[in-house]
A = this chain, B = another copy of it.
Amino acid sequence: MNPKAGDAVALFHVVESDMERVDALITQVVRDENPLVERVAQYLREASGKRIRPALVLLSARAVGRTAPHVVPIAGAVELIHMATLVHDDIIDRADLRRGRPALRRAFNDQVAVLAGDFLFARAFQLLAETGLPPVVRTAADVVHTMSVGEIQQNLERGTLTTEAAYLSRIEAKTATFLAASCRLGALAVGADALTLEALSTYGWHVGMAFQLIDDLLDVTADSATLGEAVAADFQQGVVTLPVLYALAHSARGDELRRALLAAPEEGRLAEVREVLEASGAIQYVQEKAHHLVRLGLDALAPLPPSEAREALSALAHFVVAREY
């Protein structure tokens, strides 16, 4: 377990035993009798993350106030789908590292990474089919559909993203849809009514938008030593996030920022990037936007009866904007 994920995991103590069952289930299905395939499966089992999506499934089910045997398999399937998208994303981003280890495409090769993602999708839909709940399968397939379309769009429009609206659509497809669906799936598993399904889904959507806004912001602010460098590299690859978009549009020094971002690293204009970003108010703008989204997410929880699980969902929403990693 990534030690940095400790704080996030502490929020999930209400569902701790179920989370252990989710982990055990993943360990059980990501496995193969063929020793070569098992090497890939072992790699996948050891790639542990924050497990936010399965936690949302478990907490949402619990917040409805009921339990059902299918909650844990659905939570497992959601994490498997997330793992599949990460493995495929690393091919797309030509990433060398994932969570501090060589990415699967580096540990093996791009070909195996394509297939390992397909393997994880298949395992997920096997678990979902076993629930006997078609709306659960449909919701999960919708997530994969939305994410793949969003990523195709992002890949083909590299470098042409210029508006905040386009950025928001992108992070919706990338993250908010999935977090909303995780909450909806937990509620579906326990047979929640339409109002409750919508409440939890709305909560998940807003927390997902805030989560991705902060994720992109942390790329800019997390380590001031490399700030500028990472942003400039992203920008030169056509990946633009909200802090940069905001500064380009709202700072009087927008043109200067653009030239500094496009400059070769050896020209040493990274301090300038940092300075313009900070002076433009972009960082504060993104933080306020994330806080606003989290407030809307918390409001959506109001119709749910008070419970430890609802408290944990609230705490998770606060954590999303307060975290520093």
Taking beta carbons and an 8 Å cutoff, which residues of A are in contact with B?
32, 34, 36-37, 39-40, 85, 88, 91-92, 108-112, 114-119, 121-123, 125-126, 128-135, 137-138, 140-142, 144-145, 147-149, 151-153, 155-157
* Interface SS, A side: helix
How many subunits of this chain does the assembly comprise? 2
Contact among B118, B155, B156 with A121 in the assembled complex (CB-CB below 8 Å) = B118
Chain B residues with Cβ below 8 Å from A112 are 152, 155-156
**B121 & A152 in contact (Cβ 8 Å cutoff):** no
A246–B295 Cα distance when bound, in Å, is 69
**Bound complex: CA A121 to CA B85 (Å):** 13
Q: Give Cα distance in the complex from A134 to B112, angstroms.
A: 29
Contact A37 B134 (CB under 8 A): no
A147–B116 CA distance with the chains assembled, in angstroms = 11
A137 contacts across to B, CB distance below 8 A: 125, 128-129, 134, 137
In the complex, what residues of B have CB within 8 A of residue A123's CB? 141, 145
A118 touches B115 (CB 8 A): no
CA distance A131 to B132 in the complex (A): 12
- Whether A32 lies near B149 (C-beta < 8 A) is yes
Q: Is the CB of B118 within 8 A of A91?
A: no
Most chain B CB atoms below 10 A, which of A109, A128, A155: A155
